[in-house]
Amino acid sequence: METQHRFGAAASVPVLANSLLFRTSDLEEARDRVSRVFCSHRLRVVGERGPIGAEMYFRQIRGIGVGRILYGASVVIEPGQLDSFALIQMPISGAEVVEHGGETVNSTPDVASVVSPTLPVRMRHGADTEKLVVKIDRDALERHCRQHLGGNLRQPVEFRPEMSLVAPRSLSWVRLMNWLCDEVGQERSGEDTILDSPLFSAQIEQMVIATLLLSQPHNYSERLEDNGPSIAPHFIRKVERFIDENAQEPLTIGELAEHAGVSTRSLFAGFRKYRSTTPMHYLKDVRLQRVREVLLQASPDSTTVTNVAMQWGFSHLGHFTSDYKRAFGESPSATLGR
């Protein structure tokens, strides 16, 4: 059975149900197993001590890792500085208080915490709180930041610790996390998947880190925003026109790259740099807009949301409805019922 998660704009997708690392009621075992993935830390139960009811799911993909952690009891977690990695924590349910670098984040399903490697952190995790966590190796983070800036970093990358998951700036991050969790959730034990491909895992690493650097303020944000020309290359505008004219067709990233006359890697990099998205996300956004246009003109007596969604390539109606609500602030049935 798949476990569902919710964060940000009420997204709901499978959460790593096939990547279980451990499940335990022993405090020391929980601390030891989490330490192996992250770092050494102190872990204690707050209030009357009982079974900790901890479980953890985790999947490493090159320089990033995505996981889910649950503690059944209220606990305090004190790792000091993370040093070798950054950590983004997004509650699926419940809440936690994160004290980091002299600031306090009250983290909920709408507010994530972003923990930088070089600043001290202390967390108070509420009982029965589940959170999605994304671990980013510091070396990979700083390497990608250097590549974007075209020079060395004089200081470590330090993020603002609070991230609103419902703010427009964060929606690309939320969409990316939903997609990544969905992909990991589809894996089957013992089978190689596209996530095991060195080429694809490198693209995922680049996409996750670039999206974080562009969506969450940090001490290099100004330089990143000023870096590079604002006018997109011809091949990006060419692909955008092609998508606009052929959005109802079953387009693939390979076909888009072939039409543009560039490699898929260059196409991804161009869209990330100049549009802060990916070609396929751009395609999805165009299709969502077309669905909305049809629904606004249609009659509920002669049209169904399912039929219109299918016509525009949305075969998973649950994901479609979540994406539509996130984009337009209402359900597709509400649009049709106007």
Q: Where are the domains of the chain?
A: 4-219, 228-338
Is residue 8 scored above 60 in pLDDT?
no
Using only C-alpha atoms, what is the Rg of the chain? 21
Q: What is the dihedral of CA 242, 243, 249, 251, to 10 degrees?
A: 100
- For helices 138-149 and 198-215, what crossing angle results, to 10°? 70
DSSP assignment of 24-44, as one string?
A: ES-HHHHHHHHHHHS---EEE
pLDDT, the chain, mean: 86
User: What pLDDT is recorded for position 150?
Assistant: 64
How sure is the predictor about 211, in pLDDT bands with cuts at 50, 70 and 90?
very high
CATH code matching the domain that covers 228-338, chosen among 1.20.1740.10, 1.20.1090.10, 1.10.10.60, 3.20.10.10:
1.10.10.60
Residue 114, SS3 per DSSP: strand
8 within 8 A of 92, measured Cβ to Cβ: no
How sure is the predictor about 41, in pLDDT bands with cuts at 50, 70 and 90?
very high
| Least confident range of 3-7, 165-169, 239-243 | 3-7
Is residue 10 scored above 60 in pLDDT?
no
pLDDT by residue (tens digit) across 299-329?
888 889 999 999 998 988 888 998 888 877 7
The predicted model gives 48-57 an average pLDDT of: 83
Q: Bigger pLDDT: 151 or 255?
A: 255
User: What pLDDT is recorded for position 191?
Assistant: 67
Q: Bigger pLDDT: 13 or 280?
A: 280
Q: Bigger pLDDT: 334 or 11?
A: 334
How sure is the predictor about 27, in pLDDT bands with cuts at 50, 70 and 90?
very high
CA 274 – CA 159 distance, rounded (Å)? 22
The CA-based angle 106-77-132, given to 5 degrees, is 60
Is residue 216 scored above 70 in pLDDT?
yes
CA 310 – CA 101 distance, rounded (Å)? 48
Highest mean pLDDT among 198-207, 223-232, 246-255: 246-255
235: which 2 tokens? Answer: 């091949």
CA 54 – CA 25 distance, rounded (Å)? 6
CA 133 – CA 127 distance, rounded (Å)? 17
User: What pLDDT is recorded for position 49?
Assistant: 65
Q: What is the dihedral of CA 60, 153, 41, 56, to 10 degrees?
A: -20
CATH superfamily, with its number, for domain 4-219: Jelly Rolls (2.60.120.10)
Q: Report the length, in residues, of the chain.
A: 338
pTM for this model (two decimals): 0.65
Is residue 2 scored above 50 in pLDDT?
no
User: What pLDDT is recorded for position 69?
Assistant: 94
296 within 8 A of 335, measured Cβ to Cβ: yes
